[in-house]
Amino acid sequence: MSRRMMKTKVEEKFSEFFEKWFVQLEEYLQQLLTLSNLETTMIQSEPELQAMVSRVTAHVKAYYTTKWAAAHDDVLAFFSPVWLSPLENAYLWVTDWKPSSVFRLIESLRMSHVSKMKYLTEPQRKDIEELRVKIRLEEEKVEREMERQQVAMANRRMVELARLASGGVTAGALAGHVEGLVEVALKGILCGLERMMKAADCVRLKAIKGVLELLTPMQRVDFLTAICMLQVQLRQVGKEKLSTLLAR
């Protein structure tokens, strides 16, 4: 499988940021794993646990802040990110992970005998289920907007281009009209994609924030540990697979 070698300035700059950001994420994962250890947590106070949670969530927010700034210059880079492996790209939903996957992760943690998530109370489970429904509705809203943009774009611009081509316009004038339409159409597409990407990212952040608000400090540590672990493992496997393919 070939990978595009030349990167745009945005791709190059964000790739550098992402590598550094991911190294820090791996460091936070090790700290989270230490806190998740039963013997260690016996001596941890709630403020210490919350401080760790705050550092990780701030790291996540920094990622999206940087992402949004870069996407304003080149949003297309985030719909086919060169800094991710093909395996990581295969799991993307509007440029990143799907928000509802958080709730499947919680269910898996509830089944684990070592996770504090197995001690979720009935009120916690009820609140998490209500949040899951809200997040799914938000996902559907983003998906409907994506479909609306695609349909509207195909209908309006293609019809107008066809009208110009068959309306007796001279070759030079037609070229000018077409170029103008393409420019307007492209600007509309990019603005729409940027808007949808940010909307999807906001749903992702809302899912994480919403779940964290319903958990105890130790459950928050377990939850963030699982999220970071999945991301790190997916990246490791994806890079290994890519290396194997390139070596053939």
State the chain's mean pLDDT as an integer.
Answer: 85
Q: Specify the pLDDT at position 185.
A: 65
Find, among 134, 133, 185, the residue nearest to 158 by Cα: 185
Mean pLDDT, residues 71-92 taken together: 94
201 Cβ neighbours under 8 A, 6+ residues apart = 64, 67, 68, 95, 96
pLDDT range class, residue 246, cuts 50, 70, 90: low
Lowest mean pLDDT among 12-16, 107-111, 151-155, 196-200: 151-155
Residue 96's φ and ψ, nearest 5 degrees, are -165, -170
CB-facing half-sphere around the CA of 175: CA atoms within 13 A:
2
Instruction: Match 């907007």 to its residue by tokens.
Output: 145
Q: Specify the pLDDT at position 190.
A: 85
3-state SS string for the chain: CCCCCCCCHHHHHHHHHHHHHHHHHHHHHHHHHHHHCHHHHCCCCHHHHHHHHHHHHHHHHHHHHHHHHHHHHCHHHHCCCCCCCHHHHHCCECCECCCCHHHHHHHHHHCCCCCHHHHCCHHHHHHHHHHHHHHHHHHHHHHHHHHHHHHHHHHHHHHHHHHHHCCCCCHHHHHHHHHHHHHHHHHHHHHHHHHHHHHHHHHHHHHHHHHHHCCCHHHHHHHHHHHHHHHHHHHHHHHHHHHHHHHC
* pLDDT tens by residue, 14-71: 999 999 999 999 999 999 998 887 545 455 678 889 999 999 999 999 999 999 999 9
Of residues 183 and 166, more confidently modeled: 183
* pLDDT tens by residue, 92-121: 999 999 999 999 999 999 988 777 888 899
- pTM for this structure? 0.84
Q: Specify the pLDDT at position 7.
A: 85
Of residues 9 and 39, more confidently modeled: 9
Mean pLDDT, residues 76-99 taken together: 95
Q: Specify the pLDDT at position 109.
A: 92
Q: Is the pLDDT of residue 82 over 90?
A: yes
Q: Specify the pLDDT at position 42.
A: 53
